[in-house]
């Protein structure tokens, strides 16, 4: 066995409380014996060697009584004898009290009066540790079990936190796409509504300006439109020696009446019997010819897809559908497109149908 192992074994076998208790008990008994043995003979009227012998005899007997009481107290406690514990502990308490009183009253040992009390306290600690607490080996085993329990609880709590974290992460990963699409739809709706509001505001202002202009200048403008103007440019005719006259250059200003490319709010085909047009191409054929993706209901259409759908709706009947009829069929089939875009593209279709060149 190594030196370190020997010291550890010695430390486990060595009871510190017992060692200190024995040292204090020995010191207390020695102090009491010296104090009593030197003065008790004179106190009872005996002098010389006889008085010294009597005093030391009484001191030795008292010390033997104290030592015996302490020993028997320990045995009674270990045997769990209530009567023995009461008698021996009571006798020990009396002995400690008498010893402390003797040291306080007799001689110059007042400063050591606490020694018997200290010995009794250490004895109590030793008895408590020996009879109430577990031995070192058992205490170490209990400590290991307690540490294992603490570690198991800590691991279980960490596992529970990890599972909660994994569940939260899974939910976030599952809903990330939906949340992103939701935010995209919200942003799109916000942008489109703001844009539509600005368009409505601009149209309202334009309408107000037109009303004001018509109110102020409408009659004069119509009168002006009905006039023929000749722009005369006078240029002298040059002949040898003189100017003989002027040449008139006439430029006519024609009144241009623009074709309305926005759908009339009235239904121009009202009262007319319509039938499906013979040989009208299907929507898939029109989309293939124009090289665009097949328009699908429920999905916002591009301008190209809107044109394909509107042409399909207009020329699918004979005579062709009006704007209001086409709009009704457009919504019935579940196609999605803004009103302003549908009107614009419908106007372009009518413009091409009328043969009016576009810029």
CA distance linking residue 75 with residue 127, whole number of Å: 10
Look at residues 132, 166, 185 and tell me which one is the last residue of a structural domain: 132
Q: Whole-structure pTM over 0.85, yes or no?
A: no
DSSP state of 262: S
**Which domain does 22 fall in, by range?**
13-132
pLDDT, position 161: 92
Q: Per the domain annotation, does 140 fall within a domain? A: no
Residue 156: inside a domain: no
Let me know if residue 18 belongs to a domain.
Answer: yes
Q: For residue 244, tell me if it sits in a domain.
A: no
* pLDDT averaged over 10-residue windows placed end to end, the chain, 359 residues: 49 66 74 66 62 66 72 79 81 74 63 65 71 75 88 92 87 81 87 91 88 80 60 42 41 35 50 83 93 94 95 93 93 92 94 75
- Whether 107 is in a domain gets the answer yes
What span, in angstroms and rounded, lies between the C-alpha atoms of 326 and 52? Answer: 140
Asked which of 79, 110, 132 is the last residue of a domain, the reply is 132
Q: CA-based Rg of the chain, rounded to a whole angstrom?
A: 61
Pick the last residue of a domain from 93, 112, 132.
132
The answer to whether residues 109 and 28 touch, using CB atoms and an 8 Å cutoff, is no
Within-domain flag for 190 = no
- The strand pairing partners of 336, in sequence order, are 300
Tell me the H-state helices in the chain.
Answer: 3-13, 16-43, 48-79, 82-105, 114-131, 136-225, 283-290, 303-314, 323-332, 339-354
Q: Do 128 and 89 meet the contact criterion of CB atoms below 8 Å apart? A: no
pLDDT (0 to 100) of residue 18 = 74
The tokens 């010695």 sit on which residue?
Answer: 10
How many domains does the chain contain in total?
A: 2
For residue 211, being part of any structural domain is answered with no
Report the pLDDT value the prediction gives residue 219, as an integer from 0 to 100: 74
Asked if residue 297 belongs to a domain, the reply is yes
């Amino acid at each position: 066995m190594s030196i370190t192992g020997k010291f550890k074994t010695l430390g486990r076998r060595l009871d510190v409380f017992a060692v200190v208790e024995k040292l204090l008990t020995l010191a207390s008994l020695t102090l009491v014996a010296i104090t009593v043995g030197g003065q008790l003979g004179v106190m009872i009227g005996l002098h010389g060697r006889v008085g010294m012998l009597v005093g030391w005899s009484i001191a030795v007997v008292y010390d033997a009584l104290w030592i015996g009481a302490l020993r028997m107290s320990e045995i009674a406690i270990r045997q769990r004898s209530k009567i023995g514990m009461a008698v021996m502990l009571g006798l020990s308490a009396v002995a400690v009290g008498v010893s402390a009183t003797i040291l306080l009253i007799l001689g110059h040992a007042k400063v050591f009066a606490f020694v018997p009390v200290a010995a009794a306290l250490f004895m109590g600690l030793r008895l408590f540790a020996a009879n109430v607490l577990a031995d070192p080996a058992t205490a170490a085993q209990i400590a290991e079990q307690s540490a294992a329990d603490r570690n198991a609880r800590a691991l279980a709590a960490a596992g529970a936190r990890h599972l909660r974290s994994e569940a939260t992460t899974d939910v976030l990963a599952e809903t990330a796409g939906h949340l992103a699409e939701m935010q995209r739809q919200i942003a799109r709706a916000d942008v489109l509504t703001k844009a539509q509001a600005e368009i409505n505001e601009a149209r309202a202002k334009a309408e107000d300006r037109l009303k004001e202009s018509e109110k102020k200048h409408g009659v004069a403008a119509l009168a002006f439109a009905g006039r023929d103007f000749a722009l005369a440019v006078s240029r002298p005719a040059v002949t040898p020696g003189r100017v003989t006259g002027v040449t008139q250059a006439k430029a006519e200003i024609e009144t241009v009446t623009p074709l309305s490319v926005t759908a009339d709010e009235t239904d121009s085909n009202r009262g007319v019997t319509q039938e499906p047009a013979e040989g009208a191409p299907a929507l898939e054929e029109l989309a293939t010819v124009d090289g665009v993706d097949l328009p699908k209901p429920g999905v916002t259409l591009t301008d190209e897809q809107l044109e394909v759908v509107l042409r399909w709706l207009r020329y699918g009947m004979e005579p062709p559908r009006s704007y209001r009829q086409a709009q009704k069929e457009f919504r019935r089939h579940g196609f999605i497109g803004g009103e302003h875009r549908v009107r614009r593209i419908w106007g372009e279709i009518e413009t091409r149908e009328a043969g009016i060149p576009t810029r």
